[in-house]
Structure 1
Amino acid sequence: MILVTGGTGLVGSHLLYKLVSENKQVRAIYRRPHTINRVKHVFSYYNENHKALYDNIEWIKADLNDIPALEKAFKGITYVYHCAAFVSFEPNKYYQLRNVNIEGTANIVNLSISHHIKKLCYVSSVAAIGREANPNQLITEQTEWNPEEDNSVYAITKYGAEMELWRGTQEGVPAVIVNPGIILGPGFWKGGSSGNLFRLIHKGLKYYTTGTSGYVDVWDVCDIMFKLMQSDISNERFIVISENLSFEEFQQKTARALHVKPANKEANWLILEMGWRLDWILCKLFGKRRKLSKQLAKTVRTKTIYDNSKIKNALQMEFNAIDYSIDKVSEFYLKDTKQN
């Protein structure tokens, strides 16, 4: 039987559909009952018989730091997809991020060791990969992480989680790590998911930034995870991105797909520097949630380009074109918006 953590998240919910469609026996972890409805909604995108497919999932309530509940979840499990994570770039959420992303992953690794799991797949992030001094140089899986850089709290904890995975491989658990870029997918239009970008662009963003990052859709991510777990590949990490795009290009493409006007003003260096400082003041004086950290302000104006050749060669595959992915996600967004 397969265990999926983070089953009610973007990757987890689409992965669950992939697994049950492949007639796999699946158990999934959830924390809050109402979040399961998101999975049902994702299933409804794909199949008229989605209710019958959904009913094949065995659900267990468990927190990543609740060892007794996790012990119950691991009974009879042979393969684990660890998709659960806390996504935030707010500096004051550092200890919460550590608790979920590092300590929670350590628990999954420890239980995988004690239960003799055959293979473990971890969903990390390109944020856990190092940066190149030359912005025109491709970042690969071998690019070294520099702990002295001003890394975001999210990146620090995802890197720490990967260290737990590598520890697990040394203690007998074969594992693969996927490092996706910005994951595009439907069903989650608020919060830290990329779906929120579609919602904001649809509402009308005024500013764009010129930084660059890697993008991939959730269908490619899930397909790659499934194929890696079916393969003989182990103890490897893979950058999973389809294309490198500037944030300006992404906004333009998404606005076009959503039939709205794109942002027409650049958030330049001065605006971003003033922005994160004002954001910090509002947090300190009025307790407002951080929306723009110093590290995020730097990221959105920085050019980072990723090399996806390792995973393409390993699985002999090609990614979906990002234009196709944006159009597909936008179609689901507009459909959901109309229904609501």
Structure 2
Amino acid sequence: MVLVTGGTGLVGAHLLLHLAENDENIVAIYRNEKTLEKPKALFTQFQKESLFSKIHWIKADILDIPSLEVAFQNIEFVYHCAAKISFDPKDETLLRKVNIEGTANIVNFCIDRNVKKLCHVSSIAALGDLKDFEIIVTEAMEWNPEMPHSDYAITKYGAEMEVWRGQQEGLQVIIINPGVIFGSMLWKTSSGEFFTKIKNNFPFYTNGCTGYVGVFDVVKIMSLLMKSDIAGERFSLVSENLSFKEIIFILADKMKARKPSIEIKPWMTAIGWRLDWIISVICRTNRKLSNNTAQTIHSHEIISNDKIKNALNYKFQSIDEVITQIVSKNQ
């Protein structure tokens, strides 16, 4: 029996679809009835409604121990996809609670219930820090606590520490670190904002660079790793490293939208995040641009995918193909 946390999110829902297509016996947790609309809509989009009904849904929360007691009955394998994603400094406490404490709870149950293997979904944000002479980020990079990191990155790194603790206590673990994940436009947050903004003729771009990956590559690799003998490893999942300008222009081409024409310079975002902070304090609104985010969109780090390609002999789908499929599915 397989347990999936975060099954109502982007990765979790696509993972459920992939596992269901492969006749896995699945338990998935959800927090309220309304959140089930998203994965159900995904199954409908791919004409797999009959498979959705085969998933055993249990109302539970990774922060609620009694509900996890029920969810972990007869579980052999766990895919931990649940997490809080936010780059607003106001969410620091919630990020720590969900991402670190929630992961600790999952790890503890896996150990207590003798789960055979745990796959934890982390992020490239939790990878180590480059030294001054380095430009390529690998899984072997060491985390430098003296370097600036977003609260989200810190809590995802903290979650990984809980997973490694589980390994030290005898649990078989795998950690994946996906880049920016592109999937169905059923989700209007996270990477889905790229599509929404381009559709609304967003005029700005930067030349910063990061790694991107399609959600179906992510879930296929998760399943392959769980079925393999590989354990005690982490893998960066990135199909391509592209500049924000390149990715935005690809999106504009596929969506037949106007391409952005105004480059945002570092000095502009330096002013922007400070103004955003002032506005958030005065108006008590959520932050839209933090200092860390402002730096990230100008970063030129390259994320290596050599380790996963060599481990599984895996070939990623190109981002151009991923975006083409997403746009065609949502027209």
TM-score, normalisation: structure 2: 0.98
Identity of counterpart residues, as a percentage? 49
Tell me the residue number matched to 1:181.
Answer: 179
How far apart are the structure 1 equivalents of 2:289 and 2:50? 43
Structure 1: which amino acid aligns with 2:201?
G
Determine helix, strand or coil for the equivalent of 1:29: strand
Do residues 229 (structure 1) and 226 (structure 2) align?
A: yes
Tell me the residue number matched to 2:280.
Answer: 283
How far apart are the structure 2 equivalents of 1:66 and 1:225? 26
* Per-residue Cα deviation, 1:255-275 (whole angstroms, up to 9, x for no partner): 111100111101111210111
Determine helix, strand or coil for the equivalent of 1:270: helix
Tell me the residue number matched to 2:141.
Answer: 143
Match of 1:293 among 290, 295, 299: 290
Match of 2:150 among 149, 152, 171: 152
Alpha-carbon spacing, 1:313–1:98, altered in 2? closer, same or farther (3 Å): same
Structure 2: which amino acid aligns with 1:40?
K
Determine helix, strand or coil for the equivalent of 1:94: helix
How far apart are the structure 2 equivalents of 1:140 and 1:95? 29
Do residues 103 (structure 1) and 101 (structure 2) align?
A: yes
Tell me the residue number matched to 1:242.
Answer: 239
Determine helix, strand or coil for the equivalent of 1:4: strand
Determine helix, strand or coil for the equivalent of 1:262: coil
How far apart are the structure 2 equivalents of 1:148 and 1:71? 38
How far apart are the structure 2 equivalents of 1:328 and 1:135? 38
Offset at 1:306?
0.7
1:156-171 counterparts in 2 under 5 A? Answer: 156-171=154-169
Unaligned runs of 5+ in 1: 336-340
- Superposition RMSD on alpha carbons, in Å? 1.0
Tell me the residue number matched to 2:23.
Answer: 23
How far apart are the structure 2 equivalents of 1:93 and 1:332? 33
Structure 2: which amino acid aligns with 1:108?
I
Offset at 1:79?
0.3
- Shifted more, 175-184 versus 129-138: the winner is 129-138
Contact residue 10 and residue 187 of structure 2 kept, 8 A: no
Tell me the residue number matched to 1:338.
Answer: none
* Per-residue Cα deviation, 1:51-105 (whole angstroms, up to 9, x for no partner): 2100000001111110000010000100000000000001111010001000000
Do residues 197 (structure 1) and 194 (structure 2) align?
A: yes
Tell me the residue number matched to 2:119.
Answer: 121
How far apart are the structure 2 equivalents of 1:244 and 1:207? 20
Tell me the residue number matched to 2:4.
Answer: 4
Structure 2: which amino acid aligns with 1:315?
L
* Per-residue Cα deviation, 1:28-47 (whole angstroms, up to 9, x for no partner): 01112111111111112223
Match of 2:309 among 305, 312, 316: 312
* Per-residue Cα deviation, 1:243-291 (whole angstroms, up to 9, x for no partner): 0000110000011111001111011112101110011001111111101
How far apart are the structure 1 equivalents of 2:193 and 2:55? 27
1:265-280 counterparts in 2 under 5 A? Answer: 265-280=262-277
Alpha-carbon spacing, 1:135–1:5, altered in 2? closer, same or farther (3 Å): farther
Offset at 1:332?
2.4
Alpha-carbon spacing, 1:135–1:27, altered in 2? closer, same or farther (3 Å): farther
Tell me the residue number matched to 1:323.
Answer: 320
Offset at 1:136?
6.1
Alpha-carbon spacing, 1:248–1:99, altered in 2? closer, same or farther (3 Å): same
Offset at 1:137?
2.2
How far apart are the structure 2 equivalents of 1:200 and 1:36? 26
Structure 1: which amino acid aligns with 2:31?
R
Tell me the residue number matched to 1:212.
Answer: 209
Contact residue 179 and residue 210 of structure 2 kept, 8 A: yes
Structure 1: which amino acid aligns with 2:208?
G
Determine helix, strand or coil for the equivalent of 2:187: coil
Contact residue 118 and residue 174 of structure 2 kept, 8 A: yes
Runs of 4+ that moved beyond 3 A = 133-136
Structure 2: which amino acid aligns with 1:13?
A
Equivalent residue pairs, number:
331
How far apart are the structure 2 equivalents of 1:271 and 1:211? 14
Contact residue 212 and residue 245 of structure 1 kept, 8 A: yes
Structure 2: which amino acid aligns with 1:168?
G
Contact residue 198 and residue 254 of structure 1 kept, 8 A: yes
* Per-residue Cα deviation, 1:124-159 (whole angstroms, up to 9, x for no partner): 000000231348621100011111111001000000
Contact residue 27 and residue 58 of structure 1 kept, 8 A: yes
Contact residue 131 and residue 304 of structure 1 kept, 8 A: no
1:44-55 counterparts in 2 under 5 A? Answer: 44-47=44-47, 50-55=48-53
How far apart are the structure 2 equivalents of 1:97 and 1:13? 21
